Structure 1
Amino acid sequence: MTPYALPLAASGLASGLKIDWAKMPTYNTIMSVAAGAGLLLVVALGRQLLTRSRSTPPDGWALAFAALGFTLLFTGLHMTLTWPLAGQGFPFDNIIFGEPALAFGVFLLAAAFYLWKRGDDLLSEDGVERTGRVALPISLYVFGMGLACFGIAAAGWKYTLFAAPPEEPISGEFANYPWLEASFMSALYVLVGIGALLFPFALRRPRTWLSPAIGVVWGLAGLAFLLFGGLNYFTHIGLVVNTM
């Protein structure tokens, strides 16, 4: 998935593609890895709380969320405020990648701060219910970003925004089928969006089917973002080499 070459690939201009990388910064590689790890850790923490497990102490979760939150906050903030990030255009990438990363980074940092200050409360008898009440106000923001994820997915399908050019290794093999990668990435945003829309309701009723449903959709999306981000370290380096 290479955001800045997508319109070129879609328009048939990708043959012999040359990119001025000094004007085309791209780091959705680390953003994808951090977002995937963050989703997986949120699911793991939720499972630990609901099963009253003490396998990982609260300060361990706080450190993990803080590390991922800072990564997403700074990369997402830079991408969101630099309009557009790429000197050769494509401002929609700021919306697709920058803004969700920024929001998720803020969520993770807020969770890290709470776990650092009040983490022991989570393991008390009514810790899950109490934490649910604490998180209810911010759940409105989560719900709104869930709607945003559906909007991003719809735009990805309609405009095939996630297709890779032929010069990109592996992903470029499917350059003639732009709908394939567009469908894959849009489906991931749909999964994240489903979990975000269910989140406020799960906080009110944490021990119902809502929590496992969120765990499934966020777990699948998190694993895919983590693996795909790791793969992109190879594909993006290959794209840079092939288009210099």
Structure 2
Amino acid sequence: MIHHAIPLAATGLKIDWVRMPTYNTIMSVAAGAGLLLVVVLGRQLLTSGRTITPEGWVLAFGAIGFTLVATGLHMTLTWPLAGQGFPFDNIIFGEPAFAFGVFLLAACFYLWKRGAELNSADRIVRTARVARPISVFVFGLGLACFGIAAAGWKYTLFAAPPEEPISGEFAKWPVLEASFISGLYVLVGIGALLFPFALRRPRSWVSPVIGVVWGLAGLVFLLFGGLNYFTHIGLIINTM
């Protein structure tokens, strides 16, 4: 199998990986885990009588937030990070990951200082009031997610080359992966646009909708990011 892979790489796509670093693998896993944990914490807050351990959420949000800020900030400020024809990745992956990481680090700091308030009698009202100012930024990023999704569909972005294992099997139909990734951004965008309204009426129908769309998107990002550890390693080997 090794001898068979060498001529394929020699005659197929060539990528100078020194000029095109990529780490949307860890970014996808972290973003997926972060979305899932936000949904879980929101559900715990809305469940009467549920005791919350703030120290655990400080550790989780801090670890994930640092990962997203470090990778997202570098991808956002290094223009273009992908020096072989993919500068749009800086916008599509770097900026949303950086912003989400900042949100999680801010939540980490708040819970570290004021985590005991999560178990107070008025925790829902108190948490909603604290989160309202930042909800403007969340709403704006929801609009950005729709913009990214629209660009993905219009320009058929996200399609894997034939040299990439598994995903490359669908290279002949680039609209499939474009629709898949764009659909994930739509789910995240829906939740972000609804977030400010959920803070006004936390127990309304809006909160469960956010939980569904963010939970589904988070699960897919987590699993897809894990899968990409295999597919991206294969792509690197096949294009060196």
- TM-score range, shorter-chain basis? over 0.9
**Alignment pair present for 1:143 and 2:139:** yes
Q: Offset of 1:218 from its aligned partner?
A: 0.1
- CA–CA distance in 1 between the matches of 2:203 and 2:116? 20
Matches within 5 A, 1:41-60: 41-52=37-48, 54=50, 56-60=52-56
Name the aligned partner's letter for residue 97 of structure 1: F
The one-character-per-residue Cα deviations of 1:144-181 (angstroms, maximum 9, x if unpaired) are 00000000000000001110000000000000000000
Aligned residue runs from structure 1 range 1-244, under 5 A: 16-52=12-48, 54=50, 56-244=52-240
> CA contact under 8 A between 2:51 and 2:119: conserved in structure 1?
no
Asked whether the equivalents of residues 153 and 186 of structure 1 are also in contact (C-alpha less than 8 Å), the reply is yes
Question: How far apart, in 2, do the equivalents of 1:132 and 1:186 lie?
Answer: 30
Separation in structure 2 between the aligned mates of residue 64 and residue 125 of structure 1, nearest angstrom? 24
Moved over 6 A (4+): none
* Counterpart Cα distance in 1 of 2:186 and 2:119: 32
Q: Which runs of 5+ in 2 are unaligned?
A: 1-10
User: Which residue type is aligned with residue 45 of structure 1?
Assistant: L
- Per the alignment, do residues 34 and 241 of structure 1 end up closer, same or farther by CA in structure 2, a change over 3 Å counting? same
CA distance in 2, matches of 1:23, 1:71: 22
- Identity level (%): 83
Q: Which residue matches 1:10?
A: none
1:63-104 Cα deviation digits (max 9, x unpaired): 100000000001000000000002223211100000000000
Q: Is the 8 A contact 1:50 1:207 kept in 2?
A: yes
Q: Which amino acid aligns with 1:23?
A: R
| Conservation of the 8 A alpha-carbon contact between 1:52 and 1:123 | no
Letter matched to residue 126 of structure 1: D
CA distance in 2, matches of 1:90, 1:19: 12
TM-score by length of 2: 0.94
Report the CA distance shift for 1:176/1:17 in structure 2 as closer, same or farther (over 3 A): same
Instruction: Say if 2:142 and 2:192, in contact at 8 Å, map to a contact too.
Output: yes
CA RMSD of aligned residues (A): 1.0
> What SS does the corresponding residue of 1:93 show, helix, strand or coil?
helix
Where 2:214 maps in the other structure, the secondary structure is: helix
CA contact (8 A) 1:142 1:199 kept: yes
Distance 2:196 2:236 in 1: 42
Q: Which amino acid aligns with 1:117?
A: K
The alpha carbon displacement at 1:54 in A equals 4.1
Q: Which blocks of at least 5 consecutive residues in structure 1 are unaligned?
A: 1-14
